[in-house]
Every structure is written in structure tokens, then in C-alpha cells.
Amino acid sequence: MNVLLIGCGGMGRMHAEMISRSGLTLAVCADEARPAAVALAQKYGAKAVTDGLKAIENKNIDIVAIATPTPEHLPLIKAAARAGKHIFCEKPFCRTVKECEAALAAVDKAGVKLFVGHVVRYFHEFETLREQAKSGRIGEVGFVKLYRGGLLPNGPKSWFADYKKSGGVTMDCMIHDLDWLRYTFGEPKRIFCQALMKSKPVFMDYSQVTMRMKNGIIATVIGSWAHPAGFRVKAELCGSEGLIAYDSAEAPLTSMLRSESATGSMIVPSSPVSESPYLREWLDFVQWIDTGKCPRVSPADALKAVAMAEAALTSARTGQPVAF
């Protein structure tokens, strides 16, 4: 199957590798910044273009992979659906629940498959945490604490610094943990959030969510774009019979490329395992297309993750908890 990749920045370059490793053909690389498209296309023997929407109409394309800024997701998903292409879209699904619903309607009407990259479900560490919790290894889980943080992606002039576009660390980064909590422990009951919400773009962000799940579990989730460098993930699951803890800084093996220094560049969390979680999500998507077996992440899951992040931002703005 031939893939059109729209967005050739940090995430686009990572997905290009996974597309190739999953047995697909990266046929076209599209980016408004032509040098980025050309550089990636040359590496994989693909065609470089600047107009992603026009490239979607290419009859030789089977899959459209979207790695653009969040505000561009909805129009690209609609166009790909109309063209009858299957779709891989980076998280968050869209910027708002309303946009997600419009995208789902377009996909359902076209009868194509849509996969949203909630890759934390495929990280071996979080897969193990979930298995341990659900097996009863630490008894009845009562409290969960998650932390995910680094520097603001792409520096001070980045679109990430604009709340209206990115939703800040809450929507773009913390959404991973909100999704994993729901995946592991079920539906949320209410969310309270405090965050550095600003009317003008700022060059750092910090957000803390306190959430009660419908099963009674209390979760605290912290997202940070205030680090001077690097990236760190931590998790604690407290049960009646014990505690499970994970800290990426204490992993047996860690890796950080020299380009991942305090330059403000995009940092993609790495994993030392032989099969990358990013490859695992692509293989799950391809299997869905080939066999019809449902993947670990459904479009409905992606919408609910946006709903949780949107509720957190509403709570941060109003100072009141949001009930589900």
C-alpha cells in the first residue's frame, strides 16, 4: 500500500521510518516547507510536494498519514475520507470535540478506517503497568499519579505556544495520560485542572489535573513544558497490596540524541526495546486494514481523550470541576 505523509517535521520524520518498517511504501511527502518535504522524500525515494490537500487526490495513494499541527487535522481528514483513503492521524484527534465529531461523521460516511496515534497504549512500560494493575498484583488500585514533561516543543516561535492552536501541554501532551487512564481504569467521573492558561502565546506551560474515575480511583496527572531540556515520564499506581512505580530517568537503558539538547527542538520519547511502540501502532493499524481486526485505539477512544482534555481546559479556565 502507498502512503502519503503530510507534515515532514519531527513527528513526520519518525512516522516516515515506521511506515517503511511496517512494509508500506512511502510514496509522497508533503509539507508547506518544501526543503523539509524534499529532504524526507529523498531519504525514502518518495515524491516531494508542498500541497498536501491536492496530493490526497492521487489515485495511487491508499493511506494518508497526518503529522501536521492540530488545527489542520479536520480539513485533511475530511479530504482523505472523501477521496476514499484510510487515515493515520497523530494525536490529538482534533482541537475540539465538535471537530472530532465532524471528522468521525466524514469517516463513517466514506467507510474508511481512521487510526489516531495514542502511542502510550503501545509503550511496553505502560502496557506492563496496565497488566499488573488489572491482574490484581497490587490489590485494589486506589490512587494513580502520572507525570509527563519536557521543554516546549520547537522553541518560542512554535505554534505549540499558542493555546488556541495547540491547547497547550494539557491537550497536546497530557492527553496521552488521560487516554491511558481511561484505557486502564474506565470512564472519568469529574476533572479539576489548574494550568498556565494565557491569552497570548507563552514559552512554557504547566498543568495539573485531579480526576476521580467512576470506579472511585483518584488520579493526579501533571504535564509540563517548563523543563530547560530533556523529557521525563513517571507513573505511580498505589493499591491495597502494594505500589508499582516507573520513572523513565531510572530505566535500565535510556538514550538521548545530541539534537535533543536544550535547543527547543521536538523530542519524541524514545524506547530501548527492539520493537518501537511507534512501529507497534502502525502494525496494529495495518492489521486492521488487512484483516479487519480492531486496533487497540478506536476513533471513539480518540474523541473521548479530546473530551477529557477539553474538560480539563474548561476547568482551568473557570476554576471549577467538570463532571462527565
Q: Which tens digits make up the pLDDT trace of 162-209? A: 889 999 999 999 999 999 999 999 999 999 999 988 777 778 899 999
Locate 183 and state its grid cell.
484505557
- pLDDT 10s digits, 248-274: 988 654 334 334 444 444 555 555 556
Mean pLDDT over 41-63 rounds to 97
Pair 97, 313: CB distance under 8 Å: no
DSSP letter string, 209-243: EEEEETTS-EEEEEEEE--SS-EEEEEEEEETTEE
Please give the tally of structural domains in the chain: 2
- Kindly state whether residues 250 and 179 are assigned to the same domain: yes
CB atoms within 10 A of CB 23: 10
Lowest mean pLDDT among 27-41, 82-96, 189-203: 189-203
Locate 9 and state its grid cell.
517535521
Q: Which domain holds residue 236?
A: 120-323
Residue-level pLDDT at 252: 52
Identify which has the larger pLDDT, 319 or 263.
319
Q: Which single residue is written with the C-alpha cell 470506579?
A: 215
Q: What's the mean pLDDT when you consider all of the chain?
A: 92
- pLDDT 10s digits, 112-140: 999 999 999 999 999 999 999 999 999 99
Identify which has the larger pLDDT, 152 or 111.
111
Residue-level pLDDT at 271: 53
* Residue that finishes a domain, picked among 117, 142, 158: 117
- Kindly state whether residues 151 and 188 are assigned to the same domain: yes
Cis before residue 92, ω within 30 degrees of 0? yes
Handedness of CA 161, 162, 168, 173 (dihedral sign): negative
- Kindly state whether residues 148 and 111 are assigned to the same domain: no
- Kindly state whether residues 167 and 205 are assigned to the same domain: yes
Q: What is the DSSP letter of 20?
A: H
- Kindly state whether residues 71 and 101 are assigned to the same domain: yes
Residue-level pLDDT at 262: 43
171 membership: H or E segment, kind and range: helix 168-172
d(Cα 297, Cα 302) in Å, to the nearest integer?
7
Locate 25 and state its grid cell.
511504501
- Kindly state whether residues 158 and 241 are assigned to the same domain: yes
- Kindly state whether residues 86 and 198 are assigned to the same domain: no
- Kindly state whether residues 106 and 136 are assigned to the same domain: no
Where residue 275 sits, what CATH number does that domain have?
Answer: 3.30.360.10
- Kindly state whether residues 154 and 294 are assigned to the same domain: yes
Would you give the end-to-end CA distance of the chain in angstroms?
Answer: 40
Mean pLDDT over 41-68 rounds to 97
